[in-house]
Structure 1
Amino acid sequence: MKLSRRAFTQCFAATTGLVALPSFARSELSLGPATLTTVSDGRLVLPGQLIFEPMPRDALPPILAEFGLSPDRLTPECNLALFRDGTHTVLFDVGSGPDFMPTAGSVVDSLNALGLAPEDVTHVIFTHAHPDHIWGLLDDFDEPLFSEATYMMGRREWDYWWNPNTVNTIGEARAAFAVGAKRRMQMIEDSVVLFDDGDEVLPGISALFTPGHTPGHMGFEIRQGSESALVVGDAIGNHHVAFRKPNWESGSDQDGPLAVRSRTMLLDRLAAEQMTVVGFHLPDGGIGRVEAVDDGFRFVR
């Protein structure tokens, strides 16, 4: 589906008059001697059609009713995963910063609530380069906010947004995404560490290629002894239709069919292995488990 500029304009217009929500650590999980915490970057305010437009008109309303959702407006949380093992303090993505939506961009306040400053972060690992995941990279002086961190991104994701043709081929509605990503990536060009599918990017953290939402989207399996969790970014983008009807294409994905394959692979594995899932836009802090049910899957806190 080709999203219109109007749809994205409505997305921003919907936030008029809203202020950022309180910031705090939302959920925490122990993984052996390490901890995995989600910290809030606020939430987005999106027009429903951004996700629902390509979905079956007759089958969608019962799912919306089940979850108490409006077809017109969605307000997903933004939950950044924070991994600490005593040596590394790893932040997965950096949030929106101040320039995307007034309801998002509050990760620094959330880190402060944990007694952490940006310079305490040793590594930033990106799932992908959409605005709510990378636009928070720069501070007020256009310098990398997490000044002591090593920045890491999947090679395919980096190459896609770095390509000068992307801004012309991504579609008019997402052209600003490409410009914004490239500007921020230029600030870490000389120091970024690139990795590929299956690489152990840090001890106990392995990359898992989950394309579709973006061409190079990555998830990450975190394993400490017998305990593990899977940071899925936006490969599982919500707790409602993505779980109930994982085979439905979503308007938020750049490649709908490929995103379906990644999403179903993740849900099948998470349900079978009962591995903890950490989702950027999943509710109540984004940490939970996946349960297989007759009509698909269920997110369980």
Structure 2
Amino acid sequence: MLTRRHILLGAAALTMPIAPRRLWAGTSLDMGGLRIDTLSDGNLVLPGNFAFGDMSPEEIAALVARHGLSADQLTPPCNLTLLRDGTHTVLFDVGAGPDFMPSAGKLADALDALGLSPDEITHVVFTHAHPDHLWGLLDEFDDPIFPDAAYLIGADELAYWTDPATVETIREDRKTFAVGAARRLEAIADRITTLADGDEVLPGLIARLTPGHTPGHMSFDISGPDGTVVVIGDAIGNHHIAFDQPDRPSGSDQDPELGAATRVALMDRLAERGDLIVGFHLPGGGLGRVERDGAAYRFVEV
């Protein structure tokens, strides 16, 4: 059963009508004894050219009109995924924390809305180590916010971000990504387990290598009696260009050509199987399906 929740956070919002209010949108899915929640970590604020790149003005105008976008600024949501099976509470990625963008890093509020505390998280599973997925790992004292959790990440991903050479070889505007990732991963070095393609994290939870956005990016299949939900991270990074032109290389991917090949193969599989997906930067809490749309695809919220 799928339900959508709009949660008003903060007692001040109830007693002081003129105070700023947050309306937190969440999506819950109950599937055969499994509960999946999407949690808002806020949103990013990006210039339009971050996504549109070298598209012509005519292409941009058509895309903006088709998807109701702004040509000047994009504000993609950041959707974390929480899985509960009655024994384990698994958080996929940890959000941006306070040091990346002021519009993101809202995970603590989202957990509060569900009545969960950080020490109830049993597993933290990373899709990849970009700032909006990893930088919420540590508190102001550089201690892990989730003190009792097991940490899991793709082996190739961990090797890349902890390699001292990465800061010298990564794109200039992403050197802070490398420094920030290395520092945070070092803090949990003795508590982290690496994953390979096809590894089982927990019964019914399988890691799938989906590289290109980062070298070791992973997606995760959550399978239960009622079907499969795929946590896709940033393997499909938006609901517009990625679906309209999945084979178009994206500047947000560290390896644009590999990212495009991964995206096309993933879209084809998802459309064929009809699995539900949770996309980190997709609208409506990120939960929906991939459907074919002629030679392209479309994202259908559910």
TM-score by length of 1: 0.91
Per-residue Cα deviation, 1:168-190 (whole angstroms, up to 9, x for no partner)? 00021000000000000010001
The one-letter code of the counterpart of 1:117 is S
**In structure 2, distance between residues paired with 1:273 and 1:21:** 40
**In structure 1, distance between residues paired with 2:283 and 2:98:** 22
Does the alignment pair 1:239 with 2:245? no
1:270 to partner: Cα distance: 1.0
Q: Partner residue of 2:75?
A: 75
Structure whose residues are more often strand by fraction: 2
CA contact (8 A) 2:83 2:91 kept: yes
Instruction: From the superposition, tell whether residues 140 and 25 of structure 1 become closer, same or farther in structure 2 (CA, over 3 Å).
Output: farther
CA contact (8 A) 1:23 1:40 kept: no
Q: Partner residue of 1:157?
A: 157
The one-letter code of the counterpart of 1:138 is L
**In structure 1, distance between residues paired with 2:262 and 2:137:** 27
CA contact (8 A) 1:44 1:78 kept: yes
1:156 to partner: Cα distance: 0.3
Q: Partner residue of 1:131?
A: 131
Unaligned runs of 5+ in 1: 1-19
Task: Kindly report which structure 2 residues correspond to 1:250-269, keeping only aligned pairs within 5 A, or say none.
Answer: 250-269=250-269
CA contact (8 A) 2:215 2:254 kept: yes
Per-residue Cα deviation, 1:194-229 (whole angstroms, up to 9, x for no partner)? 110110111111011101110110000010134111
Q: Partner residue of 1:176?
A: 176
More moved, 223-232 vs 211-220:
223-232
The one-letter code of the counterpart of 2:224 is Q
**In structure 1, distance between residues paired with 2:140 and 2:24:** 22
More moved, 218-227 vs 281-290:
218-227
**In structure 1, distance between residues paired with 2:155 and 2:292:** 33
Task: Kindly report which structure 2 residues correspond to 1:1-301, keeping only aligned pairs within 5 A, or say none.
Answer: 22=22, 24=24, 26-301=26-301
CA contact (8 A) 2:44 2:104 kept: yes
Unaligned runs of 5+ in 2: 1-19
**In structure 2, distance between residues paired with 1:208 and 1:57:** 37
CA contact (8 A) 1:26 1:37 kept: yes
CA contact (8 A) 1:81 1:92 kept: yes
Higher relative contact order (CA closer than 8 Å, sequence separation 6+): 1
Provide the aligned C-alpha RMSD in A: 1.4
Per-residue Cα deviation, 1:32-60 (whole angstroms, up to 9, x for no partner)? 10111100000000112122114455433
**In structure 2, distance between residues paired with 1:45 and 1:21:** 19
Q: Partner of 1:207: helix, strand, or coil? A: strand
1:127 to partner: Cα distance: 0.2
Instruction: From the superposition, tell whether residues 21 and 103 of structure 1 become closer, same or farther in structure 2 (CA, over 3 Å).
Output: farther
Q: Partner of 2:262: helix, strand, or coil? A: helix
**In structure 2, distance between residues paired with 1:179 and 1:47:** 23
The one-letter code of the counterpart of 1:227 is G
**In structure 2, distance between residues paired with 1:127 and 1:67:** 27
Runs of 4+ in 1 over 4 A off after TM superposition: none
Q: Partner of 1:80: helix, strand, or coil? A: strand
**In structure 1, distance between residues paired with 2:112 and 2:122:** 16
